[in-house]
């Protein structure tokens, strides 16, 4: 297998976005080519640049709203990372994405944030593969044996990343210039939790790299505060970007209804949504044992 070129589009309200950044930097089969941040404050860009610098990785960092003066880095990140020096982005996020695709035309765009950085993405540029953490598959798509109790009886459900910019989400889902679309959906992500047991499985790999050790440290802090664990949304999407078989997917057409998202089975759509995840395989992939 050849390494995968990836652009990571992220935010910093939730710890698992920075976990995903660390795991992408660490993974031997990932070549992280750029990072874009929503909204992309100087604090957020500084956080990303700090991790990249410590990992000896010099890649462009883009922002949706250059100069936005609200601090969007959560207090948890300061406890985890420490003091963060503000930094300016290299350019607007969509420009970074378009330029990077021209350099690496077979890359994967991995989105774990509201899709603001894709709001101006040109229809003249072809994106080979988009893997998104977002969307929802209901009872009409998910077999009964795979359904989580909290979602049984539901056909649609709001999802944070898509509802952060629903018009862009709808446009990308219908876009002919986005060739393959994979949704790592809410109905699956809520069944994958980083808890004390998973933490033990990551521990033997913590010193493999700066980024992996930082990821482990962050979850160590998190679990001491919230021992029930953290839903592992974006890292699962990263694992799927590395190896699609970590999830079982169905080909569908996505739709939005009254603020919720749903899916209907449809062949030939080139849009696929997860209905089940293999947590053990995800761990093997993210720790570099597989994929």
**Main-chain phi, psi angles of 177, to 5 degrees:** -85, 0
pLDDT at 116: 98
Alpha-carbon gap, residue 147 to 180, rounded angstroms: 25
- Evaluate if pTM is beyond 0.95: yes
Residues 84-106: tens digit of each pLDDT: 999 999 999 999 999 999 999 99
pLDDT at 14: 84
Mean pLDDT of 216-220: 96
Is residue 266 within 8 Å of 251, Cβ to Cβ?
A: yes
The two three-digit tokens of residue 20, written as one number: 């995903």
Q: Is the model's pLDDT at 71 over the cut of 90?
A: no
- pLDDT class of 246 with cuts at 50, 70, 90: very high
Alpha-carbon gap, residue 219 to 215, rounded angstroms: 6
Mean pLDDT of 204-213: 96
pLDDT at 291: 67
Q: Is the model's pLDDT at 164 over the cut of 80?
A: yes
pLDDT at 282: 98
pLDDT at 130: 98
What percent of the chain is modeled with pLDDT above 90? 95
Alpha-carbon gap, residue 276 to 179, rounded angstroms: 23
pLDDT at 126: 98
Domains contained in the chain, CATH given: 4-286 (3.90.245.10)
pLDDT at 72: 92
Q: Is the model's pLDDT at 1 over the cut of 80?
A: no
pLDDT at 2: 86
Per-residue DSSP letter, 279: H
Mean pLDDT of 151-166: 97
Q: Is the model's pLDDT at 13 over the cut of 90?
A: no
Q: Is the model's pLDDT at 143 over the cut of 80?
A: yes
Mean pLDDT of 173-179: 97
Nearest to 119 by CA among 175, 49, 43, 185: 175
Partnered with residue 276 across adjacent β-strands are 248
pLDDT at 5: 98
């Amino acid at each position: 297998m050849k390494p995968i070129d990836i652009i990571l589009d992220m935010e910093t309200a939730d710890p698992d976005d920075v976990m995903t950044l660390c795991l992408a930097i660490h993974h031997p089969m990932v070549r992280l080519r750029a990072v874009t941040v929503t909204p992309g404050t100087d604090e957020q860009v500084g956080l990303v640049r700090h991790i990249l610098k410590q990992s000896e990785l010099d890649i462009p960092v883009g922002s949706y709203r250059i100069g936005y003066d609200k601090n969007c880095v959560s207090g948890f990140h300061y406890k985890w990372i420490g003091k963060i020096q503000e930094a300016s982005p290299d350019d607007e996020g969509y420009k970074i994405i378009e330029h990077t695709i021209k350099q690496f035309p077979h890359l994967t765009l991995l989105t774990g944030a509201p899709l603001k950085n894709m709001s101006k993405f040109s229809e003249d540029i072809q994106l080979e593969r988009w893997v998104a953490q977002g969307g929802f598959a209901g009872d009409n798509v998910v077999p009964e044996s795979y359904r989580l109790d909290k979602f049984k009886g539901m056909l649609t459900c709001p999802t944070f990343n898509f509802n952060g910019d629903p018009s862009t989400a709808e446009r990308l889902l219908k876009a002919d210039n986005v060739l393959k679309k994979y949704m790592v959906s809410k109905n699956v992500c809520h069944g994958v939790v980083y808890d004390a047991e998973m933490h033990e499985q990551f521990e033997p790999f913590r010193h493999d790299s700066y980024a992996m050790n930082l990821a482990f440290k962050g979850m160590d802090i998190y679990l001491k505060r919230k021992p029930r664990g953290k839903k592992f949304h974006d890292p699962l999407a990263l694992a799927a970007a590395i190896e699609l078989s970590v999830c079982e997917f169905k080909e569908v057409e996505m739709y939005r209804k009254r603020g919720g998202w749903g899916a209907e089975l449809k062949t030939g759509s080139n849009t696929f949504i997860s209905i089940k995840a293999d947590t053990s395989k995800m761990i093997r992939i993210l720790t570099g044992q597989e994929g």
